[in-house]
Each structure stands twice: as C-alpha cells, then as structure tokens.
Amino acid sequence: MIKFKNYYEILGVTPDSSNAEIKSAYRRLARKYHPDVNPATADLFKDITEAYTTLINPEKRRQYNILNGFFENRKTNTSSQKAEQEYKEKTTSEPNKDKNIKSQFEKKQKHSEKIFADTINDIFKEFTKKEQKKPEPQNGADITADVTVNIAEALKGTERTVNVLHTKLCPKCQGRKFINGSKCSTCDGKGEVSEHRKITVKIPAKIKNGSKLRIKGEGNPGKYGGKNGDLYLNVKIQGNSKIKYDGLNVYYEVPITPFEAVLGGEILINTLEGNIKLKIPARTNSGQKFRLSGQGVKQKNKSGDIIVAVHIEIPQSLSDDEIKLYEKLQKASSHNIRENLLND
Ligand SMILES: [Zn+2]
C-alpha cells in the first residue's frame, strides 16, 4: 500500500492554489532543500518533487484529489482542464465521435507536461548557475616537512627528494562535493583530494641545524585561481659519535692533548656553528664540561648553548723528542696519582 502523502502540505499550498502558486512554492523549497544545497534533505526534496510533479499536472492533480478527498474551488480552470471537460462532455453526449477533440486534449496534456519539464530545467539551470558562479580565490596552505642530513652533507650541501602530501580541489566536482545531487565519487564528497608529490630540493652547504628552507609555490595548490602555498623544510642535522643535537643545544666531545690539559689555554674548535674559541683552565681533567651560552642553534629569538666535554687524547704518532720529554717528565714527577685510590 502506498503511504498517503499530503502534497499540499508538503508544498505549503492549498487545494485552491493555482499552478503559478504551486510553481513558486516549489522554486522556493528547491532553493532551500535541493541536495546540492543541503545534502541532508535529499529525501525531503524527493517528496517535494513528487508533490510538485503531481500537482502541476492537471490530470494527475485531479486523480490525486479524487483519491484523497481533496476539493478545489478554483474559479479559473486551466486550459487543459477545460479541454478535458470539453472532451468529457463530447464523449458522453456523442460517444465515438469527434476524435479531433480527444487528440486536442492529449495535445494539451503533452503541453502541460512540457511546461513542467521546462520549470524543472529552469530550476536546475539556476542551481548550475549558482554552482558555476566562480567562488572567491583561496590561497593554498603552506606545508611544513622535516629533512634530516648528516654532518658531511650539512657541510658540503646536498639534494633531497621530499614526498609531500598535497591537498587540492577535486578535479571532478571542483570542490562542490556533489554532482547532480549525489556525492562526488572521486573525492567521496570531501570536495578535495590528496596527492603525493615528489619534490627535489637543494640543501645549501654549511647549513645549520634547525634552518628553515622556503620553497616557493610548492605548498598546497591555491583554489579558484588563488596562490599556491609554500613548502617549508625544517633541516635537522643528524649528529655523530662526537656531536649530538638536542633541541637548540649542541653537545661536543672534544679531544685535548696532555699538555693542553696541564697548561690550559685557548683552543680552537671547528664546528658546524662556526669556529669556537674555548679557554680551558690549567689542570683541566678529562670529562670536564664547558658551556658556551647562546652559541648553539638559533631559532627565531631563542638560541641554545654549546656544551663542550673535553677528554685527554694521547697522540698516536709521537716523535723521539716528544718521547724523551715524556721520560724527563716521568723522572721529574714525584707525586703518586693513585695514592687515594682506596680512600673516600
Ligand atoms: Zn569531488
């Protein structure tokens, strides 16, 4: 059994409403509930269209009224109703005569169906126009990605191919999300699609840890003629056994000679952050740490520290003269460095 639907109520009109009133009611409702405007109201719009197609067609409307007990008291009948009336009168009084009137009635019927089709087309044209009205240009968002280089690469410069996930306007629905009232299958109704792009980037020599490289126009594509975003690469330098990066701080393990440890003085350390002069006091021990405040990685207004841990390293190739001097040093030394080994 077909469920009764009150088409008059659905369209917000009365059984007395004229075709023009029904048409304008439908236009108004279509603007509000068409699935291209509001996808959640697709079912409601189906009912609205069903109500409209029935009530705008005089014959369908008549049958619907009879079937559901509606009466219309419209003063002006539509021309097709008149034709129908004439046809009925003729056929009842003179059956099988005047086929001309019957065909005339059918012609009128066809005519009213054409009017209906035109209205629907008009309304859809309105929507298409609305959809095709060029939206405001939107600039694409910037994309940030990380690249890691080793110390040798940071010194000499290198190249990296970065895989960037771009989000761009759906090529099928152009961001409208729906096509003819149904969800766009290409973007699954999202209006945009993701795309992996490989971008090869030159990393300049002597790059510093935490540097930001800007690659113009390689961010997300702009929409509707907007500018592309930029791609920002955060360069991270991977340390080695002697250099460790930890946020803005850099930790160095620096070898010193036995005589530098004993006599102290200024030593020169060649780092990725530049040459550092470090003053070490006389009688410096292995493992002693020195902090160079504010000389680490610089980022915006902040800068980290460099922390240098020195350790005494014995040169592996010693000249005869050096050996003789060490022997002399041995003879001159009277202090037992291990005398406190078992004491607290
Ligand atoms: Zn789409």
- 34 C-alpha to center of ligand 1: Å? 18
Average pLDDT, rounded, for the chain: 84
Task: State the pLDDT at residue 272.
Answer: 80
| CA distance linking residue 307 with residue 254, whole number of Å | 10
H or E, element range at 258: helix 258-263
- Listed as ranges, residues in the chain with pLDDT below 50 are 76-77, 90-97
Task: State the pLDDT at residue 247.
Answer: 84
| CA distance linking residue 326 with residue 309, whole number of Å | 25
Task: State the pLDDT at residue 196.
Answer: 93
- Residue 313 sits at the vertex; the CA angle it makes with 312 and 319, to the nearest 5 degrees, is 125
- 182 C-alpha to center of ligand 1: Å? 10
Identify any residues that bridge with 344 across adjacent strands, giving them in sequence order.
none
Q: Which of 132, 258, 309, 275 is nearest to 206 (CA)?
A: 275
- 129 C-alpha to center of ligand 1: Å? 18
- 224 C-alpha to center of ligand 1: Å? 14
Task: State the pLDDT at residue 227.
Answer: 94
- 164 C-alpha to center of ligand 1: Å? 21
274-317 per-position pLDDT tens digit = 888 999 999 999 999 999 999 888 878 888 999 999 999 998 99
Structural domains for the chain? 7-132 (1.10.287.110), 143-238 (2.60.260.20), 243-332 (2.60.260.20)
145-180 per-position pLDDT tens digit = 999 999 999 989 999 999 999 998 999 988 888 888
- 208 C-alpha to center of ligand 1: Å? 42
Q: Which of 48, 114, 50, 49 is nearest to 80 (CA)?
A: 114
Query: What is the identity of the amino acid at 85?
Result: Q
Task: State the pLDDT at residue 37.
Answer: 75
Task: State the pLDDT at residue 97.
Answer: 47
Task: State the pLDDT at residue 193.
Answer: 94
- 223 C-alpha to center of ligand 1: Å? 14
- 125 C-alpha to center of ligand 1: Å? 20
Crossing angle for the helix pair 19-33 and 42-55, nearest 10 degrees?
A: 170
Per the CB < 8 A criterion, the answer to whether 295 and 303 are in contact is: yes
Task: State the pLDDT at residue 94.
Answer: 46
- 163 C-alpha to center of ligand 1: Å? 23
- 6 C-alpha to center of ligand 1: Å? 36
